[in-house]
Structure 1
């Protein structure tokens, strides 16, 4: 089911759909069903969202990818800043979250995909791109099954264009050891205004 279309130069809008659960109840349900795949029991704070996206060069962004968009906490902020001709791919293994995003976010630049972040290269190619400018992830790398984190990190490093970046927010610092050998420079900070406080990483690929 494709996203509900609207004009792409307007702020991302939501459409209440009869029978659609509230984002809070859906997020809690997702955490209880798949705690290893959902990093927190509540969505990220608005301050974390702003800080995480602050380094993005939106004028040079044609493809933005997010792993684990959940109920769209970042989705609206991303779409509000993207160019009218840019594309946003949101990949989630939870079919409930994907269905919710398709039903509630009215923006034809968004592609909500039910799939694994480890398959990001295929997903990006399926949507007509050879690389992503930025990839964002809140997946809890410290609790992913053995080998999955490495597979996602490898695929992400390959799919990001030179000059692009992998933006990661985590509640445990394990991700640093995955990023270090795969990216050319890494910036780190902590956002205390979040429950729980989060480690923020911006892993950069060197430009051509």
Structure 2
């Protein structure tokens, strides 16, 4: 019997709350807001960091150009295996801390966009810095980062690395969430 997505997510949270970061998967309101924030006509390569049960992945798949290369980084093995069954055409990895290594292994030089739901608030300062640095390096100039967090604690650090185009509050999510839409500055090449 297949485990329901909310139950699978809850199990992941109870097993490791610092890595999962929420009791429930992303709401449909949040998923739509994130997908609306990506310029799909510009996407050839994209990564989703922390897709969980695939609430955003499902909508993302419908928008993707057919030839797009997609990386999904999900730490929880049950959720990752569930995603693999549903989206066998995507590439799967367990740890976003290896973003650049996995891209290199697949001969992908840059990403056009990254969608990130990692619970940065729960990470050590070093882990946050490492992952954000890799995100910055991975994105092509003018590439987009769409990041959602449950507070504004990332605003200062994101502003140091990216041009923040907008921050949107999504109240119809539990808990309510902020969506940052950031762009890598055009004058910044691969670092």
Q: Show the counterpart of 1:13.
A: none
When residues 41 and 75 of structure 1 are mapped into structure 2, their CA distance, relative to the original with a 3 A threshold, is same
Query: Could you report, residue by residue, the CA deviation over 1:44-69 in whole angstroms, capped at 9, with x for unpaired residues?
Result: 11111111121311111011101111
Q: Which has the higher helix share?
A: 2
Query: Which runs of 5 or more structure 2 residues have no equivalent in the other structure?
Result: none
TM-score by length of 1: 0.85
Under a length normalisation based on structure 2, what TM-score does the superposition of the two structures give?
0.92
Distance 1:206 1:145 in 2: 26
Q: List runs of 5+ in structure 1 lacking aligned partners.
A: 1-18
Distance 1:198 1:71, change over 3 A: same
Question: Residue by residue, what CA displacement relative to the aligned partner does 1:24-82 show, whole Å, maximum 9, x if unpaired?
Answer: 21101100011011121011111111111213111110111011111111111111100
Task: State the partner residue of 1:88.
Answer: 70
1:57 and 2:39 equivalent? yes
The whole-number CA distance in structure 2 between the counterparts of 1:65 and 1:106 is 14
The count of aligned residue pairs is 187
Is the CA contact (8 Å cut-off) linking 1:79 and 1:88 kept in structure 2? no
Pairwise mapping of residues 172-191 of structure 1 onto structure 2 (< 5 A)? 172-191=151-170
Q: 1:33 aligns with which of 15, 26, 29?
A: 15
Which of 112, 127, 135 pairs up with 2:92? 112
Match of 2:112 among 133, 142, 146: 133
